[in-house]
Structure 1
Amino acid sequence: MQLLGKLEIKSKEKIIEFLSSQQTGRISSIDENGYPQIIPMNFVFINDIVYMHSHIKGEKLENIKRNQKVGFEVDKSLEFLPSYFSDPTDASLADTLYISVVIKGNASIISDKEEKTIALNGLMKKYQPEGGYEPIKPDMDVLNEVEVIKIVPESLRGKYKIGQHMDRKSRIDLARQILERNSPTAKETLDIMGFEIIDNEPKLVDDKLW
């Protein structure tokens, strides 16, 4: 229980920052036979609400009409940690650094054109920040050509593992191993962990808990 507490993201600002930076989330709804259906979706998080656009027909829409209770999940795998970081032979010590957010809430299909416009413009701003399009307005025909799914969270929880559960020395040793292994994600991972590379050595510059 003590470790689980250290892995929980306490900062709502960090959760929002993470959700805003990620491209894909997964919505889980319940189908007509009682099975969960999980679908990857583009999404935007605005004013504590998840919005997604959808084709006007589809199983997930029928699921939501039948049962509004859904799950929504976003995750990012930061760095695989080989077992030999900890032991030369024990494969069970392999691990992964990650960030994840899980939402349980109630979903609905938006009929209000003003809210639908806010959601679609929010999606465009997130995925096409360079512009190059005409902002959507409530009187445009495009609003009739897509559906927008809205999820109002009942619970929102984040977990992360970036070495914050380790003592300072162990965390620095881990950063050195990541830097030496030099995976394609190593520098981004070290940045998220709070390290800067100075003279080819990782220096811990930010060890604040999230």
Structure 2
Amino acid sequence: MQLVGILQIKSPQKIKEFLNQEHVGRISSIDENGYPQIIPMNFVFLNDFVYMHSHIKGEKIDNINRNCKVGFEVDRELEFLPSYFEDPKDASLADTLYVSVVIKGTASLVSNKEEKTLALNGLMKKYQPEGGYDPIQSSMRVLDAVAVIKVIPEVLSGKYKIGQNMRPESRVHLAQQILKRNSPTAKETLKIMGFEITSSGLQMVDEPVW
């Protein structure tokens, strides 16, 4: 079996959950000279569309008005795996556990005030879930002072690498090494890999299939 197939996220729900968790995505548009322009953005994935708020003027707005085809990417590095996990001298064995989602689609500026309101309130709910604000209303003048970019996915794909490509005994060994190295992300990575730290040691309690 090809490694690419093993790493593919097959669950649309897992992709949606990942996009809802992550705070930064990158939109790529084509500038007037034909070069890709990549910009990090806050975003919300709502009703199967990507929404971002923006200043009403700028290069990415000009790019989208000229050419609506865009790319959008979100990723999370889970854990860097030092080369010495495999060999004390061979640097080529360094690796990374990760999750990533890539979208190819078309972008437009939202003009409908109801949809614009929905998107902005969706962004607020995602980034400020504790509340403490009055929801935006479609009658507010602030809507005219901000642009909302909508990306309609035509191709949506995801990849993840959490050890699912390894034999069970090798995955357990890797988890033990991650625990021993004790990076700031180690415990969360082990949880995503399906491991739990118990009183009797590290135990695999789940077989995550995405």
Distance 1:18 1:207 in 2: 18
Q: SS of the counterpart of 1:117?
A: helix
Q: Which residue does 1:19 correspond to in 2? A: 19
Q: Which residue does 1:126 correspond to in 2? A: 126
Aligned CA-pair RMSD: 0.8
Q: SS of the counterpart of 1:13?
A: helix
Identity of aligned residues (%): 72
Q: SS of the counterpart of 1:120?
A: helix
Distance 1:209 1:131 in 2: 34
Q: Which runs of 5+ in 1 are unaligned?
A: none
Q: Which residue does 1:186 correspond to in 2? A: 186
Q: Which residue does 1:115 correspond to in 2? A: 115
- Residues 45-79 of structure 1, C-alpha deviations (whole Å, 9 max, x = no match): 00110000000111000000000000000000010
Tell me if structure 2 keeps the 8 A contact 1:9–1:158: yes
Structure-1-length-normalised TM-score? 0.98
1:76 maps to amino acid: R
Structure-2-length-normalised TM-score? 0.98
1:202: Cα distance to partner? 1.9
Distance 2:42 2:200 in 1: 38
1:201: Cα distance to partner? 2.2
- How many positions carry a matched residue from both structures? 210
Distance 1:102 1:109 in 2: 21
Q: Which residue does 1:97 correspond to in 2? A: 97
Q: SS of the counterpart of 2:150?
A: strand
Distance 2:172 2:138 in 1: 53
Q: SS of the counterpart of 1:139?
A: coil
Distance 1:14 1:182 in 2: 27
Aligned pairs for 1:168-207 (under 5 A) are 168-199=168-199, 201-207=201-207
Q: Does 1:209 align with 2:204?
A: no
Distance 1:179 1:110 in 2: 47
Distance 2:188 2:208 in 1: 17
After TM superposition, where is structure 1 displaced by more than 3 Å over at least 4 residues in a row?
none
- Residues 98-143 of structure 1, C-alpha deviations (whole Å, 9 max, x = no match): 0000000000000000000000000000000011111011100110
Q: Which runs of 5+ in 2 are unaligned?
A: none
Tell me if structure 1 keeps the 8 A contact 2:76–2:98: yes
